[in-house]
């Protein structure tokens, strides 16, 4: 006699079957994105079935963007999607690396499970290996924050490394300067909201530039000055129209046109009073989040005020002492492509800036924006944690060597070291190079004591990567820790229980 524990149609996978299902799912996700890794990585086209035209079309090699766009049913695969999101939120880049490394660790774990080694034994070895790898990474990290020239060069090198695997790789030197200049304006803050990115289709990618100040995608009102110096700004969110009674469901009946004229006159006088209150604040620039219609616009022109953006948003003007006004040096109209916009120069905070991106297609612009965001995010985190490490497979080989040397008694630690060595192998494979030969040379160089050796994927050689391929220490540490934690969590699972699908009622 058998007792049914779960609802009908619920499923359960146990022990080896559960582990195998998880590991295969995670490896499949790693294999999906690993071809995008490195400066020679390929892109993916993601197309939504519900969108028409090119609205649902995304061309990208950003790991987080790819993984969050595809529907997955495997539980372990969803864990890797989550770690890529965390990596994106925490550091901004390395989303592909963290998924690929976690998948490679699990690929090695699968071979150990086939040898009948218990998952907890493997996990213990992986934990020791992670600690050794982290220690080696921290010992190799250096900081040049006290040397201003070298510090800027480090930031530029990090930006170039980040951008070299993106769509902006051909202009990485120009965009590295743009990103570094933008982030240094933040003066140590990691709040990226002050760096605005405006995308305008048309022109070439190389026509993009960094503009000091804030650019607002609005037009200056009719009969308003196109340049205001010493701007005193009010930002409002208030209705500025007189053509309807603003009470929902209200009805007004009039018996003759004279009463209608009186009603219109009252509305106009009410609007005149509001404009006078705004003008009495002593501002010379006014921006409203709602439309400004002809009559109040004419009143503003008469009062010689401009129409633009700044300080805290106000919706009532009866208590002028409670309204916080903004300020900046200049407010002027500029033209980007064929569009007129408003630029606020010399903002009060002194930190705002705008990256203006140009490009041939909307997909190109969207991917360029993702690339700039990744670079800016990594740079801002590097300023907060100024240590750097070296890329091109250098750091992974360094950690692999340290784990190998400590793996005298643990076969799991040897497996972890092999997983780390897979990262430079994949970089070389994606570049169409002989990965077996190159990684063997790289490993030999590290065992000879040349610990700053990495791969030159453009010339197919092993070189000293100091000053050539630089990465953020925080990014690399986060990739290591997140990947090993995700692999450990997936290895711990010995049971997968799926609920019965909910029945649809006709």
Residues 86 and 107: their CA atoms lie apart, in Å, by 22
Residues 463 and 9: their CA atoms lie apart, in Å, by 58
Which of these, 74, 71, 75, 81, lies nearest to 47 by C-alpha position? 71
Find out whether 358 and 209 touch, Cβ atoms under 8 Å: no
28: which 2 tokens?
Answer: 């499949």
Which of these, 39, 60, 320, lies nearest to 160 by C-alpha position? 39
Report DSSP state, residue 34: G
Please give the positions annotated as active site.
62, 95-96, 374
503: which 2 tokens?
Answer: 């029945």
Find out whether 357 and 341 touch, Cβ atoms under 8 Å: no
Residues 455 and 463: their CA atoms lie apart, in Å, by 6
Q: Which long-range contacts (CB under 8 A, 24 or more apart) does 457-462 make?
A: 457/38, 457/39, 457/40, 457/392, 457/427, 457/428, 457/431, 457/433, 458/39, 458/431, 460/431, 460/433, 460/434, 462/438
| Tokens 């213990």, residue located | 124
- Helical residues (DSSP H) of 213-256, grouped into ranges: none
Exposure pattern of 186-209 as b/e (b: 16+ CB <10 Å)?
beeeeebebbbbbbbeeeebeebe
Residues 269 and 259: their CA atoms lie apart, in Å, by 15
Helix (H/G/I), strand (E/B), else coil: 389 = strand
Residues 490 and 23: their CA atoms lie apart, in Å, by 7
Residues 256 and 482: their CA atoms lie apart, in Å, by 75
Q: How much is the CA Rg of the chain, to the nearest whole Å?
A: 29
């Amino acid at each position: 006699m058998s007792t049914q524990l779960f609802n009908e149609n619920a499923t359960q996978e146990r022990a080896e079957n559960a582990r195998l299902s998880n590991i295969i799912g995670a490896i499949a996700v790693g294999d999906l994105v690993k071809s995008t890794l490195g400066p020679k990585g390929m892109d993916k086209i993601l197309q939504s079935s519900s969108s028409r035209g090119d609205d649902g079309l995304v061309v990208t090699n950003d790991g987080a963007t790819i993984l969050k766009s595809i529907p997955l049913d495997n539980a372990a695969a969803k864990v890797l999607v989550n770690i890529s999101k965390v990596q994106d939120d925490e550091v901004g880049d390395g989303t592909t690396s963290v998924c690929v490394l976690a998948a490679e660790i699990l690929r090695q774990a699968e071979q150990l499970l086939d040898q009948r080694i218990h998952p907890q034994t493997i996990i213990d070895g992986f934990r020791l290996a992670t600690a050794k790898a982290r220690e080696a990474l921290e010992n190799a990290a250096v900081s040049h924050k006290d040397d201003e020239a070298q510090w800027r060069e480090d930031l530029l090198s990090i930006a170039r490394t980040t951008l070299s695997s993106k769509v902006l790789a051909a202009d990485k030197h120009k965009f590295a300067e743009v990103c570094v200049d933008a982030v240094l304006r933040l003066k140590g803050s990691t709040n990226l909201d002050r760096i605005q990115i405006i995308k305008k289709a048309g022109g070439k990618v190389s026509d993009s530039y960094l503009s000091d100040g804030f650019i607002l995608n609005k037009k200056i009102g009719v009969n308003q000055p196109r340049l205001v110096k010493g701007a005193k700004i009010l930002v409002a969110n208030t209705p500025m129209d007189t053509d309807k009674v603003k009470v929902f469901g209200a009805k007004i009946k009039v018996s003759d046109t004279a009463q209608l004229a009186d009603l219109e006159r009252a509305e106009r006088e009410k609007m005149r009073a509001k404009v006078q209150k705004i003008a009495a604040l002593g501002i010379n620039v006014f921006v409203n989040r709602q439309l400004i219609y002809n009559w109040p616009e004419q009143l503003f022109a008469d009062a010689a005020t401009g129409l633009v953006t700044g300080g805290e948003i106000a919706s009532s003007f009866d208590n002028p002492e409670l309204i916080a006004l903004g300020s900046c040096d200049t407010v002027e109209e500029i033209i980007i492509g064929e569009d007129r916009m408003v630029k606020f120069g010399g903002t009060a905070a002194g930190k705002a800036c705008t990256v203006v991106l140009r490009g041939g297609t909307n997909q190109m612009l969207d991917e360029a924006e993702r690339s700039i965001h990744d670079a800016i995010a990594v740079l801002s985190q590097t300023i907060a944690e100024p240590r750097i490490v070296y890329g091109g497979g250098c750091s992974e080989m360094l950690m692999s060597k340290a784990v190998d040397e400590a793996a005298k008694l643990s076969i799991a630690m040897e497996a972890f070291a092999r997983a780390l060595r897979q990262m430079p192998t994949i970089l070389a494979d994606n570049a169409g190079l002989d990965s077996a030969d190159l990684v063997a040379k790289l490993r030999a160089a590290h065992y000879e004591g040349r610990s700053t050796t990495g791969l030159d994927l453009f010339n197919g050689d092993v070189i000293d990567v100091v000053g050539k391929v630089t990465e953020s220490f925080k990014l690399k540490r986060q990739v290591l820790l997140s990947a090993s934690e995700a692999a450990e969590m997936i290895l711990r699972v010995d049971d997968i229980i799926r609920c019965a699908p909910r029945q649809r009622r006709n």
